[in-house]
Amino acid sequence: MKLSATILALAIYVSLGTAQSQEWGQCGGIGWAGSTTCVSGTVCTVINAYYSQCLPGTASTTPPVITPTITPTTPPSTGPTSTASIPPAPTGSNSNALARAAGKLYFGTATDNSELSDAAYVAILSDNSYFGQLTPANSMKWDATEPEQGVFTFSGGDQIVSQAKAHNQIMRGHNCVWYNQLPSWVSNGGFTSAQLTSIIQNHCSTLVSHYKGEIYVDIALQAARAADPGAKIYINDYNIEMTGAKATSMLNLIKDLKSRGIPVDGVGLQCHFIVGEVPTSLQSIMQQFTALGVEVAITELDIRMTLPASTALLAQQETDYKNVISACKAVSGCVGVTVWDYTDKYSWVPSTFSGQGEACPWDANLQKKPAYSGITAAWA
């Protein structure tokens, strides 16, 4: 079986300084007239030419600004993925079967290598009536695939690709370049702009070439297109799911890339939400992206709550999941939804957000929660 291929855009983040915009606030970008410094403990970080954001962290040095030279190419087709690369649709009333019946490519989940030793977990993961797509949470990131410069290891990613292939599931790679989980030789290397550009191109080309024709990958634009001309190229980001400066900046970036013939086929909206706070503008934002001639996908969905969970919170979470799925279903260019692991047993939320959790549609005992009913009701 040939699995469909997608690729994520190059996300080069450049630290700029510290002092007055609040944490997570905008601090720069084309047309930005506000403060260009951030509060203490945060760093003004270039997300793209149109948007810089105050992210947690400190900067001990001022790294070089990176401006890769990219030769425009013929714009890629923005039509749907070839049906020859899409696994046969399962039947029944489970989440992926219903998503396929609704005309989408998949309902999927993230997973990680350590979880594959849990037989009860894998039994559900392997059922493609539930999940038609897998995303490796960590094993394709830079620190995992090139821990030493020029020394590549793909064993972790290969294991998850094999898991997906064995069960007729699409594989989405995640990811080549972002501001976190960099090996120390990259983050502390003191490279010049030209050196780092070459390093990024080599890393992305090697990664994509290894998985050529096999995965949905999120990566760097031109290097990825050159390594696998048949791949779909996505930009994946957070906080672009609601009306605001960052969504506007991403819309402007997509317009700019397409106007210069630089390959971009889709936008991934991560969708790490809080119970009761799912943005009402989600469907509208997705429609604005698809109007530019790109696909969209919900790539990392979870909806966390303040613990302990209550009947009321679980009921609201059910509604929230239903609303997110309904938004994707209503947008013809939304190709699918991926939850950021399907079970609370392996959720990243409790270790990241103190006092919060219960973000996934299955509980820690691998039992379906009301949220799962919201998902299937929306797809039906």
Q: Is the pLDDT of residue 200 over 80?
A: yes
Over residues 364-380, the pLDDT tens digits come to 999 999 999 999 999 99
CA-derived radius of gyration, the chain: 20
Res 59: pLDDT: 46
3-state class (DSSP) for residue 28: strand
Q: Is the pLDDT of residue 20 over 60?
A: yes
Instruction: Tell me what percent of the residues of the chain surpass a pLDDT of 70.
Output: 80
| 180-194, 213-227, 301-315 — most confident range | 301-315
Interval 313-329 mean pLDDT: 99
Interval 341-349 mean pLDDT: 98
Residue indicated by tokens 């989440």: 95
If we measure between CA atoms, which residue out of 340, 363, 333, 372 comes closest to residue 271?
340
Q: Is the pLDDT of residue 72 over 70?
A: no
Res 211: pLDDT: 87
E strands, 309-354, are 334-339
If we measure between CA atoms, which residue out of 189, 223, 305, 212 comes closest to residue 6?
212
Confidence of residue 14 (pLDDT cuts 50, 70, 90): very low
- Catalytic site includes residue 214: no
Least confident stretch, 122-131, 134-143, 215-224, 345-354: 215-224
Q: What are the structure tokens assigned to 265, written together?
A: 């086929």
Residues 6+ apart with CB under 8 A from 16: 27, 28, 36, 43, 44, 45, 46, 52, 59, 62
238 compared with 228, residue with greater pLDDT: 238
Catalytic residue among 146, 214, 241, 300: 300
Task: Output the pTM of the full model.
Answer: 0.77
Instruction: Tell me what percent of the residues of the chain surpass a pLDDT of 90.
Output: 60
Amino acid (1-letter code) at residue 326: S
Mean pLDDT of all residues in the chain? 83
Least confident stretch, 28-32, 76-80, 264-268, 305-309: 76-80
Separation between Cα atoms, residue 127 and residue 108, nearest integer Å: 11
Residue indicated by tokens 């397409």: 258
Angle between helices 282-290 and 311-330 (to 10 degrees): 20
C-beta of residue 110 within 8 angstroms of C-beta of residue 137: yes
C-beta of residue 289 within 8 angstroms of C-beta of residue 258: no
Interval 347-355 mean pLDDT: 95
Percent helix, percent strand, percent coil in the chain, to nearest 5: 35, 20, 45
Decide: residue 113, CB within 10 A, 0-12 exposed, 13-18 middle, 19+ buried.
middle
127 compared with 216, residue with greater pLDDT: 127
Q: Is the pLDDT of residue 69 over 60?
A: no
